[in-house]
Amino acid sequence: MTVAALSSNPTPAILPGSGGMRGALSDLFWRRPKLLLLLMLAPPVLWLGIVYIGSLFALLLQSFFSIDEFSGLINREFTLKTYGDLLQAANLDIILRTVTMAALVTLASAIIAFPIAYYAARYARGRWKALFYLGVMLPLWSSYLVKIYAWKLILAKEGILTWLLAKLNLLWLLDAWLALPIVGGNSLSVSFTGTFIVFVYVWLPFMILPVQAALERVPGNLVEASSDLGASPGQTFRNVLFPLALPGIVAGSIFTFSLTLGDYIIPQIIGTSRLFIGQAVYSQQGTAGNIPLAAAFTVVPIVIMGFYLWGAKRMGAFDAL
Amino acid sequence: MRSDRGQSAPLGLKIAAACGLLFLHLPILLIFVYAFTTEEKSFVWPPPGLTTQWFAVTWNRPDVWEALSLSVRVAAISTAIALVLGTLCAAAVSQTRFFGREAISLLVILPIALPGIITGIALRSAFALADIPFSFWTIVLGHATFCVVVVYNNAVARFRRTSGSMIEASMDLGADGFQTFRHVVLPNIATALLAGGMLAFALSFDEVIVTTFTAGQQQTVPIWMLEELIRPRQRPVTNVVAMVVVLVTLLPILFAYYLTRDGDQIAGSGK
């Protein structure tokens, strides 16, 4: 029966083309996979190439223009004068302040992130693991402005932090801290301390995730072997755990460092009137209308991040991403 | 491999981890309390009284609705563009090997790896050089550019798990390229695309840094909030909007997590 059915309806080994435009196209793609690849790649590459890389070049180009100080018009001729302006004391101050802040924020994020990442990687199982994951993911993805706003509420003079410290009879501590030069101020919401706390809060999840990924790959028996051989927990941490987690920390620091370098909204809302790079860029291109100087300013974080990424790559941080 | 199952953590570590997580979550919870406060002029804690009247006030504010409508339209269109571009790119990169493959992944990731202010000012100076006036489409242009990476990451992770032999089997059984895409490839990547789309939507809905450079006078929800933060007009309304924004971004994230939780490279990692 089956034999008869087969022989009465012989199927050719190669089917004929299904015909029509659609069939022809389908056959063409099958015969020429390169053409299909080209068609698939063209839209995204053209979009990103023109919109993004094109814009970056436009920016770079403008940093070589200069502004005419009398008329305020942009002089479209090649010059390095704008980069020279970057070296003025006020501008160097801004760069130094931003880089210091970025370094401190990175350090603090690493310290706070480590226990969370370590617990999640080594001890949390099943339901708890999912909970930890969401516990990091939800703050990462919740609205950036809402997070800043929440801290404005917390750090305000009449806010919850002052209330809490008053209840604990610790107000003198806050006052003593605010009386300090540089880090202090009228209240936490107009001090560098406030800016620092908010930066750490907002970028912390970006540090936890790569550190956790790096720690997941450390076998538990390595830690046990270390203590079997007589190392104290401190020694185990310094000589075993920390070196193995370092690529993850460096990977996380790429985010915390780069995001702090480029941010202009947090210091504008919570902080002093002294500028950070992002704010300088924003005010130069906006109110001052000096797009060349703004463009030259953005080149600073690009260059710093370039060196940072180069160093991070040498430390093997990209494998931890 | 692990010999430490069932072992419990040292107390110090537990406390440090718990404090870290509380530090991440308490500030957001605080927003929910402030949305109900009766205090209008300051951020006083504890709230002198609780009320729901600010929800009604917010409901009747046309500027809030306009900002919300603009944000939703921008996010929807940017997500649609990002879905098409991101999927195409992911399909090309994961199915074939070709010269410059690494460069393409870098190109996709760059808009999110460089600080937002660089993307923002780059777009703005390009618009200025080309004499393009600010409009709805200038916002979309910026948003779609950095949303591509989210869709791309999710789609690439799924393509990696999908075996190429299924596509070959479909072709062997006589399906043409389009039929294979429709009946084999698409059902396989659908949930990853949905998750990527949701994250892209949330990302666009929340974006403020690039938007300040590409929006001109238009107000999206984040720009509206930024205005209120710098020059407060009616604080209780800001509180309510902040709470709604938290809820609106929370749901897509949870749903995206739910869609990709089984072993995939997970949806949002590395925003």
**CA A21 centroid distance within chain:** 47
ipTM value for the complex: 0.81
Confidence (pLDDT) at A287? 72
Q: What is the pLDDT of residue B259?
A: 78
What are the tens digits of pLDDT across the range A280-307?
888 887 777 788 888 888 888 888 888 8
Question: When comparing pLDDT for B165 and A71, which is higher?
Answer: B165
Would you call A135 and B238 a contact, using CB atoms and an 8 Å cutoff? no
Looking at residue A317, its pLDDT comes to 65
> What CA–CA distance (Å, rounded) separates B267 from B253?
9
Q: What is the domain partition of chain A in residue ranges?
A: 21-54, 90-320
Nearest CA-CA distance, residue B53 and chain A, Å: 20
Please answer yes or no on whether A123 and B9 come within 8 Å at the CB atom.
yes
CB B256 within 8 A of CB A126: no
How many Å lie between the alpha carbon of A85 and the closest alpha carbon of chain B? 19
Query: In this structure, are residues A294 and A274 in contact, taking their beta carbons and an 8 Å threshold?
Result: no
Domain A90-320 has CATH 3.40.50.720: no
| Residue A5 clears pLDDT 50, i.e. is over it | no
Q: In chain B, pLDDT over 70 holds for what percent of residues?
A: 94
Q: What is the pLDDT of residue A1?
A: 42
A225-233: long-range pairs with CB below 8 Å, 24+: A233/B10
In a domain, B185, yes or no: yes
What pLDDT does B263 receive? Answer: 52
Search chain B and give the residue with CA nearest A58: B126
B25 belongs to a structural domain:
no
Are A40 and B208 a contacting pair at CB < 8 A? no
Would you state the pLDDT for residue B270? Answer: 44
For chain B, the domain total comes to: 1
CATH of the domain at B118: 1.10.3720.10
Within 8 A of A282 by CB-CB distance, chain B residues are 117, 212
Six-digit token string for A240: 């075993």
* Contact criterion met (CB < 8 Å) for B88 and A154: no
Q: Which range of residues forms the domain containing residue B114?
A: 55-260
- Residue from B119, B51, B253 nearest A59 by CA: B119
> What's the mean pLDDT in A47-65?
85
Instruction: List, for residues A145-175, the tens digit of each pLDDT value.
Output: 999 999 988 988 888 888 888 888 888 888 8
Alpha helices in chain B (DSSP H): 11-34, 53-59, 62-95, 101-113, 116-129, 136-161, 164-172, 177-180, 186-206, 209-214, 221-230, 235-260
pLDDT score at B3: 45
Residues of A with Cβ-Cβ distance to B13 under 8 angstroms:
115, 118-119, 123
How close B233 gets to chain A, by Cα (Å)? 15
CB within 8 A of B17, min separation 6: which ones? A115, A116, A118, A119, A120, B9
Question: When comparing pLDDT for B143 and A11, which is higher?
Answer: B143
- Three-state secondary structure string covering chain A: CHHHHHHHCCCCCCCCCCCHHHHHHHHHHHHCHHHHHHHHHHHHHHHHHHHHHHHHHHHHHHCCCEECCCCCCEECCCCCHHHHHHCCHHHHHHHHHHHHHHHHHHHHHHHHHHHHHHHHHHCCCCHHHHHHHHHHHHHHHCCHHHHHHHHHHHHCCCCHHHHHHHHCCCHHHHHHHHHCCCCCCCCHHHCHHHHHHHHHHHHHHHHHHHHHHHHHCCCHHHHHHHHHCCCCHHHHHHHHHHHHHHHHHHHHHHHHHHHHHHCCHHHHHCCCCCCCHHHHHHHHHCCCCCHHHHHHHHHHHHHHHHHHHHHHHHCCHHHHC
Q: Are B200 and B78 in contact (CB under 8 A)?
A: yes
**CA of A182, closest CA in chain B: separation in Å?**
23
Mutation test of the interface with chain A: which of B13, B44, B106, B118, choosing the one with the most A Cβ atoms within 10 A? B118
Asked if the Cβ–Cβ distance from A204 to B261 is below 8 Å, we say no
Q: Which residues of A touch B23 (CB under 8 A)?
A: 112, 201, 204
Alpha-carbon torsion (A184, A190, A195, A201), positive or negative: positive
**B-chain residue closest to A251, CA distance:** B270
Nearest to B96 among A33, A52, A262 (CB): A33
Burial class for B168, CB neighbours closer than 10 Å (0-12, 13-18, 19+): exposed
Q: How many other CB atoms are found less than 10 A from the CB of residue B142? A: 31
Rg (CA), chain B: 23
pLDDT attached to residue B266? 45
Model pLDDT, residue B140: 93
Cβ-nearest to B177 among A26, A48, A261: A26
Average pLDDT, chain A: 83
Do B85 and A55 lie within an 8 Å CB cutoff? no
Nearest CA in chain A to B178: A26
Which uninterrupted H or E stretch holds B234? none
Q: What does the DSSP 8-state code read for residue B37?
A: B
Q: Nearest C-alpha of chain A: how many angstroms from B17?
A: 4
- What was the pLDDT predicted at B2? 45
Inter-residue contact B190 to A49 (CB < 8 Å):
no
Q: Provide the pLDDT for residue A16.
A: 61
Q: Which of A8-12, A188-192, B158-162 has the lowest mean pLDDT?
A: A8-12
Whether A29 sits inside 8 A of B177 (CB atoms) is yes
Angle, helices A89-122/B11-34, rounded to nearest 10 degrees? 120
What is the residue whose two structure tokens read 């450390």? A218
Share of chain A above pLDDT 90, in %: 15
CB A37 within 8 A of CB B98: yes
Identify the pLDDT of residue A100: 94
Q: Which of B:211-270 have CB within 8 Å of A?
A: 212, 222, 225-226, 229-230, 238, 242, 245-246, 249-250, 253-254, 257, 261, 266, 268-270
Cβ of A167 under 8 Å from any chain B Cβ? no
What's the pLDDT score for residue B120?
Answer: 87
Mutation target for B interface from A39, A144, A149: give the one with most B CBs within 10 A: A149
**Could you tell me if A131 lies within 8 Å of chain B, comparing CB atoms?**
no
Q: Give the residue among A167, A165, A154 at the shortest CA–CA distance from B45.
A: A154
pLDDT tens across B78-102, in order? 999 999 999 998 888 887 777 777 7
Asked if A149 lies within 8 A of B268 by C-beta distance, the reply is no
Residue B228's nearest CA partner among B213, B220, B238 is B238
pLDDT at A80 over 60: yes
Listing DSSP states for B57-100 in one string gives: HHHT-HHHHHHHHHHHHHHHHHHHHHHHHHHHHHHHHHH---TT
Q: Which residues of A touch B16 (CB under 8 A)?
A: 115-116, 119
**Is residue A115 scored above 60 in pLDDT?**
yes
Q: Which positions of chain B have pLDDT values less than 50?
A: 1-5, 264-271
